[in-house]
Chains A and B, each alone.
Chain A
């Protein structure tokens, strides 16, 4: 675990037209850690992910992954560094099949010529098939992603994230629209993934966060309000005021 890189946000602020989406946010995610991030709407959870993945440039502050400053890189560069992201609204390529979506996500050379020459070998096929089994979409391999149900789309996107073989996974609301048993399955999967990789989960569903059972960070108005175990933050008076009490 110690060989992994840690994610370090240091005093990050993002200002949109005078609105402070992130306000001097500092956060450390250790290698192999599974971290839940909760907070009311507008607390800056998604903006935090945007900053880490290069979609949004911070107005101030540093974002370090190991020794690398992520604020100087573009989305593709950050993804290739080993940071994968699942979006709040599952996003994939509807005109491609489940198999092809996973194949595109599979870690492999990303240039045009390399893609042109790409041949699906046995090892790659096995990895894709293993992932399809893991996310329960083996039967749907040749179906277009566009016809999947919402829960299946969530799963496919998690599968795509796994194919990228990232060191750090950022997972935005993974269980929205899932049934209870699917939610349980997802929690188990994320716990299993963590350890080998760092995982940051943004979630509204407190039961789910409890099921993950790890360290929780509460964001409010763009900075950290409280941090600790789920019991600790649920009993934190400030958290109850701004979030849980509502």
Chain B
């Protein structure tokens, strides 16, 4: 519309460059399981460990995207997004538990081991249906979505924003953690679910299943990115940005900001649920520790480090911080939490726009 190298045009080129970088990154991820098939002696061989940990990081990247949609665009700083992730994970875990069938330690045809151990006579009503994969997948998005709808509706309608909303979401995930620790909730108490056997007929402990889950996660990441891109590039995305920066002004323009925020928050929770559902079969366990407030805060740090309000930034942050974590927790395990905290302080003080801001600064 204006001169060729106006800031807007430069910005667009940079954005294009970032997207191209992301596409190359996704392609590189895509060939990892293939390189895993090469003989160990081949220099291009990728270890099982690296494939499985990358699969986890892809799920974290989806969680980061979902959080970025809520925080970076709509200004809803959720410190409880781990709860939506964990609920999606539990929904998947319930399906995986049902798929164990009579292969449990106690050999009960229907009941999972922990229920036999706790003296359950029959499956609790809320476990019904989880034997069906489509039903379980529906619950993966509906349960986190419903929780976000209730929490979001009550708080947005009462105009709870900023730090109060953050504390509220933090309390939400903490309360869920305590609830899921209880044995009589029927979700396995502090042991959670583990010893999964199969998914969709595939044994989970094979490299083929690992590759399948890896690709499923990668596809989910690309789809989530495209959904978020479609949303944020539309007028709806600009309404969210406007709400983030001056919510009351948006109301005076005639927008019902409650419904706009609710839409973003619920969608974000659903994406987080999908991330959790893909995560659980890859790590082979889900327990109430996933609800830990620290997990949610870590996710916020990924997004902050990468650059909130940019989709590429969220993905970048999730991979960078988790890569750093994996390296540091083996190199100097005692240091990690200090580094994480220091990283957050440093990013807040020196890189308010995250790594993406750094790249953009260079690009100009």
Report whether B254 and A164 are in contact in the complex, using a CB–CB cutoff of 8 Å: yes
- The verdict on A95 contacting B245 (CB below 8 Å), with A104-B238, A116-B234 known, is yes
Query: From residue 253 to 270 of chain B, which have CB atoms closer than 8 A to chain A?
Result: 253-257, 259-260, 263-264
Q: Chain A: which residue is nearest B251 at the CB level?
A: A75
Report whether B248 and A104 are in contact in the complex, using a CB–CB cutoff of 8 Å: no
- Closest Cβ–Cβ distance, residue B191 to chain A (whole Å): 41
Interface membership of chain B positions 228-239, coded 1 if the CB is closer than 8 angstroms to chain A and 0 otherwise: 001100111011
- Closest Cβ–Cβ distance, residue B307 to chain A (whole Å): 14
- State in angstroms the CA–CA spacing of A87 and B236 once bound together: 24
Report whether B236 and A142 are in contact in the complex, using a CB–CB cutoff of 8 Å: no
A141 contacts chain B at the CB level, 8 A cutoff: yes
A30 contacts chain B at the CB level, 8 A cutoff: no
Give the chain B neighbours of A117 by CB distance below 8 A.
Answer: 234
Interface membership of chain A positions 73-102, coded 1 if the CB is closer than 8 angstroms to chain B and 0 otherwise: 011100110001101000111111100100
Our pick among A79, A95, A141 for the contact of B254 (Cβ within 8 Å) is A79
Segment from A107-115, A199-207, A212-220, A231-239 that makes contact with B: A107-115
Give the chain A neighbours of B1 by CB distance below 8 A.
Answer: 141-142
Give the chain A neighbours of B230 by CB distance below 8 A.
Answer: 116
Our pick among B2, B245, B253, B260 for the contact of A112 (Cβ within 8 Å) is B260
Give the chain B neighbours of A55 by CB distance below 8 A.
Answer: 248
- Closest Cβ–Cβ distance, residue B359 to chain A (whole Å): 19
- The verdict on A94 contacting B253 (CB below 8 Å), with A116-B236, A118-B236 known, is no
- State in angstroms the CA–CA spacing of A87 and B263 once bound together: 28
Give the chain A neighbours of B2 by CB distance below 8 A.
Answer: 141-142
- State in angstroms the CA–CA spacing of A208 and B117 once bound together: 83
Report whether B8 and A142 are in contact in the complex, using a CB–CB cutoff of 8 Å: yes
A223 contacts chain B at the CB level, 8 A cutoff: no
Report whether B236 and A93 are in contact in the complex, using a CB–CB cutoff of 8 Å: no
Report whether B256 and A76 are in contact in the complex, using a CB–CB cutoff of 8 Å: yes
- State in angstroms the CA–CA spacing of A164 and B263 once bound together: 24
Report whether A93 and B252 are in contact in the complex, using a CB–CB cutoff of 8 Å: no
Interface membership of chain B positions 131-147, coded 1 if the CB is closer than 8 angstroms to chain A and 0 otherwise: 00000000000000000
A103 contacts chain B at the CB level, 8 A cutoff: yes
- State in angstroms the CA–CA spacing of A141 and B249 once bound together: 21
B331 contacts chain A at the CB level, 8 A cutoff: no
- State in angstroms the CA–CA spacing of A113 and B263 once bound together: 9
Query: From residue 182 to 207 of chain B, which have CB atoms closer than 8 A to chain A?
Result: none
Our pick among A100, A104, A142 for the contact of B253 (Cβ within 8 Å) is A104
Give the chain B neighbours of A92 by CB distance below 8 A.
Answer: 246, 249
Provide 24 A-B residue pairs closer than 8 Å at the C-beta atoms, listed in order of the A residue: A55-B248, A85-B252, A92-B246, A92-B249, A93-B241, A94-B245, A96-B238, A97-B8, A100-B238, A103-B238, A104-B239, A104-B253, A110-B256, A111-B259, A112-B239, A112-B259, A112-B264, A115-B235, A115-B236, A116-B230, A116-B235, A116-B236, A118-B235, A118-B236
Q: A-contacting residues of B (Cβ < 8 Å)? A: 1-2, 6, 8, 230-231, 234-236, 238-239, 241-242, 245-246, 248-257, 259-260, 263-264
Q: B-contacting residues of A (Cβ < 8 Å)? A: 53, 55, 74-76, 79-80, 84-85, 87, 91-97, 100, 103-105, 110-113, 115-118, 141-142, 160, 164
